[in-house]
Each structure stands twice: as C-alpha cells, then as structure tokens.
Amino acid sequence: MKIGFEAKRAFKNFTGLGNYSRAVIRIMAKYYPQNQYLLYTPQDNAKVRQTLVEPFANISVKTAPVKILKSYWRSLQLTKSLVYDDVELFHGLSNELPANIKKSNIASVVTIHDLIFLRFPHYFKWVDRQIYRYKFKAACKNADRIIAISEQTKRDIVQYFNTNPQKIDVVYQGCDAAFCCPYSDDAIKEIKEKYKLPQQYLLSVGTIETRKNQLLICKALKHLKQDIKLVIVGKVTAYKQEILDFIQENHLTQQVIFLENVPFQELPLIYQGAKIFIYPSRFEGFGIPIVEALNSKIPVIAATGSCLEEAGGPDSLYVHPDDDIALTKAIEIVLKDEDLQANMIKKGLTYAENFNDESIAKNLNSVYLKTIEHAKRRN
C-alpha cells in the first residue's frame, strides 16, 4: 500500500500536532514496513529528515515546487501530486484535507484532534474560529473516514458538524518512548540540582494558559497541610500573571516554581522526579501529558468534564476543575497513603498499555483498510 501523509506539522511543529504527526508516521513505518509512506510538506527540515525519515527505507519526502505559493499547493495542488505518485490512501494528520481530494479516486482519512474553538470560543480570535470551522467541517465532509483522538472528540464532531458517528473511528494517541524509559536516581538527582527542584514536588506540564487552569493547583496549595512545592512546566502566556498575582497575595512565592523552555530530553526526568502529576485542564482533545505521567510511574490527578478520564483511566483521581477543596483532599489522600500511590502507579502503567505504539499502529492500519474499502465503493 502506498500511503501519503499531510506532513507540514511533522516538519514545522515541535509540540502537540507535530508530535502526533511524527508519531503516526514513525509507528506505521515501523510496524507495517511493507507499505510505502510519502510525506507531503511545503518545506523540508534537515533535523526531522535525519531523525524521522532516514532511519526508514520506506519513507520519502515530497516538497512543494518553489514557484508555487505553499498554502495554495497544500489546499489545491496537492491532490495532483497524490494522483501522479499513485497514492492509494491519504491521511490528513492535523484537521484538514486538500479541498479537491474527494474528486480523486484516492481514499482519504482525516484526524480531528479537538473542537475546543467551538466549545470555548472565547479562547480564540474570531478570524481563527471562522477559518478552523471551515477547514475542519470541510475535512469531515470530504473524508472517507474520520479519526477522532478520543470519544469526547467523536461526540463533538457529531454534535457540531452533524456527522454520522458510523463514519468516525476513535484511535488514541500515545506518548514518546522517552517517558517509558526508567532513569537512574543519579540522573534524576542531577536534573533536580540543575533546576533547583526540591526532593518532593507536585508537577503540572502544559502551556500556562486559562484553559489549562493551573491556578486551581495554586489554590489547592494554599489549603495543603503538607509542605510540598509545585513545579509548573510550560510555555508562558498572559495567564501566568494571574497566577503570580494569586501566589503573591497568598504568600506562596516560595511554594511555586515555573520552568520554561525545558529541553525535551530532560522532561521525562522531571516527570520521574515528581510525587504527583496534576492536570486540571477544563477541556482537552485527549491529554497526552497524562499518558506521559502514567508511563513515568507517577500518580495522576486530573479534571472532570472532557476526555481526561479516557487518558488517565479508572485508577487515576478526578476533581471538578473549579473545586480547589476537592483537589486539596485528593492531593492529601495520595501523599499520605503509600499503598495507594503504589496501586495507582501499577494500574496506571497497565492502563497506559492501551496507548503503546503497536496497539496504535494496529488500530490505524485497521482504519486505513476500512477507508480503502469505502473509497472503492464510492468510486
């Protein structure tokens, strides 16, 4: 099978959508080496080529002709390249497809990550919302099949775009293998010394923004009887000032540590040095940091209200995203009970097997085969 991937973000983005794109390409190339994989991207990237493409003989890169406006190529000219290259199936990895893909004989599948811009429009600019709505809705309409990264996202696609649920498959995401690798006590001690981290700390990872709701943890910190610090790792937005104001007003300045621009290879060490991972986000498409924490052998406390229970499983703890008292109690319960910690870690690791590479590759391949059969009937 010859499979094409819309790979712009695989080459340009080094956070969520980029991580997802590279992971899908890598695990498919590894577990289904009999296929040929073509990565369509407006621009190449030497580092990504070296780490993602060169290790696999079955991956090749196709870039836009220099003379063509790159956004125009992705939207309207890419289908011509797919036809010319005899691509059998095309996977739009990040919420969109070429506008004219349905007119070709090529089977198409699109991954929709979330519809947060519709559920929480106040987090997005008006212009961005209109663009996203048009692109996402068109992709869902034109695709032969849709991949949702969670049951929550599937429900949202049905609700907001009136899509037939039978057209949608849920295929969960995994996390980078680096989080599954146990590091030595010396290595963890070294990373704590580098960032001046305490022996024990609570951890939250994610962009510091209103939706991620890190302020809730600071409010819980105010009520905690145990003396433990909070480490927040993530890209800074204006929301950080709101957190800083609360910290200062409540004399928590010495209790909260912010880390920004942490190299990816050091992040698993920071996870593994933590006592509890806390993710109080109001809404997510899935919640990869939770899977990272489960694989890092840390108890997880997350928020109710979206899909975080899907990511954390039945043995993590969940609280309402506005209930700082409930979060305080959950933290205290975990900190006091070593048997509970051990049970959460053990069962969390078992649950995380649902998101391992081989399982994801098998599920993706099943969707691809189903999509090709559907396209044959369509044509």
Residue tagged 């011509």 (tokens): 80
CA angle (190, 333, 220) in 5-degree steps:
75
Residues 191 and 312 in one domain: yes
Amino acid occupying residue 260: E
Residue tagged 């961005």 (tokens): 128
* CB of 209 closer than 8 Å to CB of 237: yes
Enter the DSSP assignment of 102. G
Residues 161 and 15 in one domain: yes
Kindly report each contact of residues 117-126 with a partner whose C-beta sits within 8 Å and lies 24 or more positions away, as own/partner: 118/156, 118/160, 119/156, 119/283, 120/211, 120/282, 120/283, 123/209, 123/210, 123/211
Q: Residue 73: its pLDDT value, please? A: 78
Half-sphere exposure of 7 (CA within 13 A, CB side): 28
Report pTM: 0.91
**CATH number, residue 130:** 3.40.50.2000
* CB of 157 closer than 8 Å to CB of 120: no
Q: Tens-digit pLDDT profile for the chain (379 aa)?
A: 999 999 999 999 887 889 899 999 999 999 999 999 999 999 899 989 999 999 999 999 999 887 667 777 788 789 999 999 999 999 999 999 998 998 898 999 999 999 999 999 999 999 999 999 999 999 999 999 999 999 999 999 999 999 999 999 999 999 888 999 999 999 999 999 999 999 999 999 999 999 999 999 999 999 999 899 999 999 999 999 999 999 999 999 999 999 999 998 999 999 999 999 999 999 999 999 999 999 999 999 999 999 999 999 999 999 999 999 999 999 999 999 999 999 999 999 999 999 999 999 999 999 999 999 988 887 6
Structure tokens at 87: 């691509």
| Distance from C-alpha of 260 to C-alpha of 281, rounded to nearest angstrom | 19
Residues 310 and 253 in one domain: yes
The DSSP line for 229-296 is EEEEES-B-THHHHHHHHHHHTT-TTTEEEE-S--GGGHHHHHHT-SEEEE--S--SS-HHHHHHHHT
Residues 235 and 329 in one domain: yes
Residues 141 and 194 in one domain: no
What's the chain's Rg over C-alpha atoms? 22
Residues 25 and 146 in one domain: yes
Residues 165 and 186 in one domain: no
Residues 109 and 240 in one domain: no
Residues 71 and 139 in one domain: yes
* CB of 3 closer than 8 Å to CB of 34: no
| Distance from C-alpha of 375 to C-alpha of 104, rounded to nearest angstrom | 10
Structure tokens at 191: 């990373």
| Distance from C-alpha of 37 to C-alpha of 17, rounded to nearest angstrom | 19
Residues 94 and 182 in one domain: no
Structural domain harbouring 241: 177-355
Structure tokens at 36: 């040929």
Enter the DSSP assignment of 73. I
First and final C-alpha spacing in the chain = 18
23's CB contacts (< 8 A; 6+ apart) are 173, 174, 176, 357, 360
Residues 67 and 19 in one domain: yes
Give the helix/strand (H/E) hosting 177. none
Helix (H, G, I), strand (E, B) or coil at 313: coil
Count of domains in the chain? 2
Residues 152 and 71 in one domain: yes
Q: Residue 67: its pLDDT value, please? A: 63
